[in-house]
Structure 1
Amino acid sequence: MAELNEWVEDDELREMRPVFAAPLAPDAYHKEDVSGGAPYEMELPAPGADAMIMNMTRPLAFVAYLRHAFQWAGLPGYAEAFDERPSEISAIADRLEAL
């Protein structure tokens, strides 16, 4: 992972960010091809068994995020646009195994 190698090799970067944050995905704005903020990240090693995902609008632990994503058929951003899952998303999500 290029980000980890950069963090390991750059003393100044490690001083600014003493804990490595692994990028997981671009933020919602970047996904819409708009200049946005920092990517969603997870601090590694995590202080607990279930690491928090950083830079999200509402903090979520990794496992809670996975559950939420599976409830929305891998499209968790739709939860912000719809009060209920559209039938197309429900048709997929209902066939997924629960976490």
Structure 2
Amino acid sequence: MSVRPDWLNRYLAGERAQVWHELRQLGDRMRAPGLAEEAQAVCDEMAHRARRNIEMIIGRLDEQGYRFHENNDDQTPTEPFAPPGPEAETHLRWLEERLGPLPMTLSSWVRIVGDVWLVGTHPQWRNSADADPLVFEVEGTRHPAGGIREYAKEEIEYWQEDEQPGPFVLPVAPDHLHKANVSGGGPYGILLPDGCADAHFVGEVGMPLVDYLTWVFHNGGFPRPTNDNAQWDVLFQLRQELQPL
């Protein structure tokens, strides 16, 4: 690309799909001087928008009497959001030292958004935990000090012991069944190493991380249908005025 791209201004002007397409087409070549700074600026803006969306959703859920809790039998109350802690950058470096390059959207999320856990119960929508509520935790600021890093360290060691390891899947969330406190499959995660702009999210299906988040926010943070008509009234309120990514 001979001309310095104007990705951020185009993104802000509404050309989001085209900008993400161009970034993905470049792969890890967008880390070249003159491209990397502009690509990172787009990813950071995406993360700022995602954080505002999360804060709006949590505020609305609080107003509606939603109970945020762990995915256990006791439904232990928990905080739904933890902004980046002082060790966010350190944790990113720790991951990069062990796994190689991290996609820019992942690093932007860790530095700007933090950890989110929307699992809980809604007073008008009792099976809301069945709707695969948004969970995305990398730094682990909701957990005891070092807990999530120890978990990641164990997973990395298991991966490295494999004679022919494929890409590593960094766990970021329980699957939709475990969120509802039902035995299920493996966790959702991010494929690493990856030097591209947008991360590859691995859930029930794989897709770019921004596409996954767009789908989640389009559904107010609860993307899975639950066969409860109350879901649609709740989600209609939750998704109002959320910012596109």
Instruction: Report TM bin, short chain.
Output: 0.7 to 0.9
SS of equivalent to 1:86: helix
Q: Which has the higher contact order (CA 8 A, sep 6+)?
A: 2
- Between 44-53 and 33-42, the greater mean CA deviation after superposition: 44-53
**Counterpart residue number, 2:68:** none
Instruction: Give the Cα–Cα distance (whole angstroms) in 1 for the partners of residues 167 and 204 of structure 2.
Output: 21
Instruction: Give the Cα–Cα distance (whole angstroms) in 1 for the partners of residues 209 and 201 of structure 2.
Output: 6
- The 5-angstrom pairing of residues 14-93 of structure 1 reads 14-16=160-162, 17=165, 19-54=167-202, 56-78=203-225, 81=227, 86-93=232-239
Answer whether contact 1:29 1:36 (CA < 8 A) is retained.
yes
- Between 43-52 and 30-39, the greater mean CA deviation after superposition: 43-52
Instruction: Give the Cα–Cα distance (whole angstroms) in 2 for the partners of residues 6 and 23 of structure 1.
Output: 11
Instruction: Give the Cα–Cα distance (whole angstroms) in 1 for the partners of residues 223 and 161 of structure 2.
Output: 34
Aligned pair count reads: 93
Shift of 1:32: 1.9
TM-score by length of 1: 0.74
Judging by fraction of residues, say which structure has more strand: 1
Q: C-alpha deviations, 1:31-84, integer Å up to 9, x for none? A: 122111100011123253222222x22322100011011111111223x758xx
Shift of 1:91: 1.6
Answer whether contact 2:174 2:187 (CA < 8 A) is retained.
yes
Q: CA RMSD in A?
A: 2.4
Q: Which amino acid aligns with 1:89?
A: L
Asked whether 1:6 is paired with 2:141, we answer no
**Structure 2 unaligned residues grouped into runs of 5+:** 1-148
Identity %: 30
Larger Rg: 2
Q: Which amino acid aligns with 2:171?
A: P
Judging by fraction of residues, say which structure has more helix: 2
Instruction: Give the Cα–Cα distance (whole angstroms) in 1 for the partners of residues 153 and 173 of structure 2.
Output: 18
SS of equivalent to 2:152: helix
Q: Which amino acid aligns with 1:67?
A: T
**Structure 1 unaligned residues grouped into runs of 5+:** none
Return closer, same or farther for 1:81/1:42 CA change in 2, 3 Å cut-off: farther
Shift of 1:92: 1.6
